[in-house]
Structure 1
Amino acid sequence: MSFTYDVWKPYHLFFSAPFSQKYLYNQYNSSSIVDAEQRSFKNCYPFIYYLEHSKNYYQTALKSHTSMQPVLLFYGLSQLLKACLLTKNPVYPENTAVLAHGVSTRKRKKQSYDFLDDEVKIQKNGLFSEVGKELFHMKQLEGQKYTMTELLIHIDEMYSLFNELSPSRASKKVLVGNLNNKELIFPNQIKESYHMDNTRLHLYLQDRFKIDMRMQEINPTLRISFANLHTNLYQCSPLLFNLETSDLHLTTSREQCVYFPEILSHYLILYNLSMISRYETEWWYELLHTYSSKDYPYIMHFLQLTSIKAPYLLFNYLQSQIKKD
C-alpha cells in the first residue's frame, strides 16, 4: 500500500488490565452472561495475551522474508480472532474441536496449478466457524467452498490488479460514497445491472446488510444512510471498503452481492497461503524466485495489504463494542 499506518497504536488502550477487565465485563453483562464480573477478571489477561501474541506475529512478519510471511500472518490473525471471540464467549475455547483451523484445502495438481482457481472448504468445527457464528451470526458454513478469486474480490484494494491482469475474473464495481458522506448514493448502473427499480433494490440491499439502514430518497437515485457506518466497517459487506481512500463500492454483480465480511476472506486466503508455503515448498519458491507465474502480483499485493487491513478491521470490531459511560 502507498501509505504508512501504525495499525497497532490504537490497540494500546487494551493493554491495560483495568480497562480490558471493564471492557469484558460490559460485553458479558450486556449479553446477560452469568457471573459476568468473575468471568471478566478470569479472561482479562488471556484477552490481553491474545492481542500481544498477535502483535508479535504481525511485527515479526514485517521483518521476515516473504517466504515466511503467510505462516506468521495467518497465526497473527488467528490470535487476534481468538481475542475477539473471547469478548462474545467467556468460556472460549470450550473444547479442543474449536481450536482447529476449520478449513481444508484440496490436493494440488502439480501441472498447470492456478492459485486464483484454488479453493478452500469449510469444516464443521474450528476457528473459522466459531468466528462466523459468534462475530457475524453466520451459520451453516460447513461444506462451503470458495476459490481464491471469490475471496480476493471481497477486498476492494485487489480490484486494480484484476482490472489490469484478468478483468474477466471479477465484475465491475461502482463508487457509492465515502466514509465522510452522510449518505451513500446507488447509481442507475447498479439498478440496471440488478434489473431492479429503486424500491426493489432497497429491499434487496436491506436483506443483505447487517447494518441499520434508512432510505433517504428513491427518485431519481436511491440514497441510503447507514447508522454508525464508521464503527461497523468490519461488517459493512456487501459494501467494499478501501482503507487507503475511505471509498465505498458495490459490485455490479447480483451473484457477488452477498454478505461475507472481508475479514473472513483474509483468514481463508492466509490459511491457503500458509499451507502452500509449508507443504508446497517447491512451487512457493519458484513463485518467489522466477516470477514465472501470473499469481505473483496477487499474492504479494495481498500479503502487504493484509498485514495492515486485517488488524484494522478487527480493531474496528473491538472498538464498536466499547460501551460509553
Structure 2
Amino acid sequence: MYQAVHTIMCENPTKKMWDSYLYFESEPTTKAFLQQTYEKQNIPKSNVYAFHNASKFIYYIKQARQYYFSAAESDILVQPLLLYYGMVSLLKAYVLTRDPHYPSNTRVLQHGVTSRKIKRNYYSLAEDEVRVQKEGLLPYLYTFLSKEPLQEKYRLQDLLAIIPELQAAYQRLYKHASLTSVSLSSHRNFERLYTIFYLPDFVLDNVHLTYASFIHYLNRYNQGEAYFAASSLEAPRGIIRLEWHHPEKIHVTESGNGFENILFLHNYKGSFFYKTQAGKNHTIPEVVIHYMIMYVLGMLCRYETERWGEIVFSFMSEDMYMIQEFLTLSARKFPNLVYDLLLQERYIFYTE
C-alpha cells in the first residue's frame, strides 16, 4: 500500500504533522492532488471531479484540524467527542479520494458502528464491545483498506492489544503481553538484500513451534514479496535470530509497508513489534481500531455523561489510566495515519 517511508526530523512532531496538512488547504494544490489520485485509479473525468471536490476536501481537512485543536484545549469531559468528529472529518477526506461521488447517499454518512447499552451498576472499558453495522462510514471506509471481512463485533481489550504505543500500559493494566518489541540490526549488506532481526525465544513457546517451523509460520502471513529465512549464525541465549529478505529493499526500515506481514506492526516512531497472540484482529487497519474505540468513548461522554464523569473524575475506575493513554496517543497518531493514507507513503515525524 505504501510506496516509501520518510523520516522527518523536527522539534515538534505534532506541529510539523499538522503543518504538513496545509498542503491540502490550498485550492490549486488540492485540485492537482485529487486529479492525480483519481487518475491513478483510472477514474474517468478525473479533472472534472478534482475541480468539483477540491473545496469539499479542503473543508474536511480544515474542520478536522479545528476539532483536534479544540480537543487539545478542552477538558477530558468532552475531549473524546471532539476527537471522534475530528476523525470523521479526516476519514471523509480520505474516502473522497477513493470515491469522487462521496457521499452518494445518506446511508454512508451514518457512523457504521454501534455499542451495547451500558449497565448502570458496572462498566468495564476492556469488556465493552463495538458492533459493526452493514452500512455507514466505517464499513464503507473498510472496503478501501482491506479485502478481509470485518467481524460482527469486537471487544475493546482485543483492539487495545494491537496498538503498539499502548503496550506498556496494556501490560501494566491487564497483566499480560500481546506484543513484543523487535530488535533490528543496523547492519546493511549491499551484496545480499536482507535485514537481521531478533525476537525473544518465548515466541516459539507461544505458538508451540520449533525454530524452523516458526519460519514457515511467519511466511504464511506474508502480504508482499518479502519473506523470512533462518539465520546461519547462532543467537545469544534467550533470543532467536532471523532474516527478512526483500527483492528491492536493503533494510526493513526502508520499506513503506514494514515487514509486509500481518504479524508485525510499527509505531509512529518507526519501531517494530511482533504480535505474540494470533487472533481474528490480525488484519484490522489501525485507523479502523482508533475509530471504533473513540466511537465508544465519544458515545460514553455524550449519552452517559454521569457514568463518564464517574470514570474520569473518581478514583474507583481502573479504566481512566487506559483511556487517558489512548486519548493522548490517538490525538497524535490518528491524523498521521490518515496523512499516510492520503499520500500512500509513510511519514515518521520524529524528534531526538
TM range (shorter): 0.7 to 0.9
1:312 and 2:336 are equivalent in the alignment: yes
1:250 and 2:311 are equivalent in the alignment: no
Partners in 1 of 2:102 and 2:79 — Cα distance?
Answer: 27
Task: In structure 2, list runs of 5 or more residues that go unmatched.
Answer: 1-11, 189-193, 233-240, 347-352
2:113 aligns with 103
1:171 aligns with 178
1:148 aligns with 156
| 1:117 CA drift (Å) | 0.5
2:69 aligns with 59
**Residue deviations 1:147-180 (CA, integer Å, cap 9, x gap):** 1111111211111112222214x43524254999
**Residue deviations 1:104-135 (CA, integer Å, cap 9, x gap):** 1111111222111000000001111111111x
1:68 and 2:68 are equivalent in the alignment: no
* SS of the residue 1:224 aligns to: strand
1:219 and 2:231 are equivalent in the alignment: yes
Task: In structure 1, list runs of 5 or more residues that go unmatched.
Answer: none
On the 8 A contact 1:27/1:87 being kept in 2, the answer is yes
| 1:194 CA drift (Å) | 2.5
Would you say how many aligned residue pairs link Structure 1 and Structure 2?
314
Greater RCO (CA < 8 Å, at least 6 residues apart): 2
Amino acid at match of 1:239: F
Partners in 1 of 2:218 and 2:101 — Cα distance?
Answer: 35
Larger radius of gyration: 2
Deviates more, 1:311-320 or 1:52-61: 311-320
- Relative to structure 1, the CA distance from residue 16 to residue 208 in structure 2 (aligned partners, 3 Å threshold; closer, same or farther) is farther
| 1:213 CA drift (Å) | 4.1
* Aligned residue among 81, 100, 110 for 2:91: 81
On the 8 A contact 2:219/2:228 being kept in 1, the answer is no
| 1:4 CA drift (Å) | 5.7
- Relative to structure 1, the CA distance from residue 20 to residue 64 in structure 2 (aligned partners, 3 Å threshold; closer, same or farther) is same
* SS of the residue 2:170 aligns to: helix
Partners in 2 of 1:309 and 1:10 — Cα distance?
Answer: 14
1:194 aligns with 207
Partners in 2 of 1:10 and 1:126 — Cα distance?
Answer: 29
| 1:190 CA drift (Å) | 3.1
Partners in 2 of 1:265 and 1:92 — Cα distance?
Answer: 22
- Relative to structure 1, the CA distance from residue 208 to residue 55 in structure 2 (aligned partners, 3 Å threshold; closer, same or farther) is farther
1:292 and 2:301 are equivalent in the alignment: no
Partners in 2 of 1:21 and 1:179 — Cα distance?
Answer: 41
* SS of the residue 1:112 aligns to: coil
Deviates more, 1:155-164 or 1:115-124: 155-164
1:14 aligns with 24
Partners in 2 of 1:56 and 1:236 — Cα distance?
Answer: 36
* SS of the residue 1:121 aligns to: strand
- Relative to structure 1, the CA distance from residue 301 to residue 208 in structure 2 (aligned partners, 3 Å threshold; closer, same or farther) is same
Partners in 2 of 1:310 and 1:125 — Cα distance?
Answer: 23
Partners in 2 of 1:68 and 1:16 — Cα distance?
Answer: 31
On the 8 A contact 2:219/2:227 being kept in 1, the answer is no
| 1:256 CA drift (Å) | 6.5
* Aligned residue among 126, 137, 147 for 2:146: 137
CA RMSD of superposed structures (Å): 2.8
* Aligned residue among 264, 272, 284 for 1:239: 264
* SS of the residue 1:183 aligns to: strand
| 1:291 CA drift (Å) | 2.2
Amino acid at match of 2:131: K
On the 8 A contact 1:189/1:252 being kept in 2, the answer is no
- Relative to structure 1, the CA distance from residue 236 to residue 214 in structure 2 (aligned partners, 3 Å threshold; closer, same or farther) is closer
* Aligned residue among 10, 14, 35 for 1:5: 14
Partners in 1 of 2:143 and 2:185 — Cα distance?
Answer: 29
TM-score (norm 1): 0.86
On the 8 A contact 2:215/2:228 being kept in 1, the answer is no
Between Structure 1 and Structure 2, the one with more helix by share is 1
- Relative to structure 1, the CA distance from residue 123 to residue 78 in structure 2 (aligned partners, 3 Å threshold; closer, same or farther) is same
Amino acid at match of 1:175: V
Partners in 2 of 1:103 and 1:257 — Cα distance?
Answer: 16
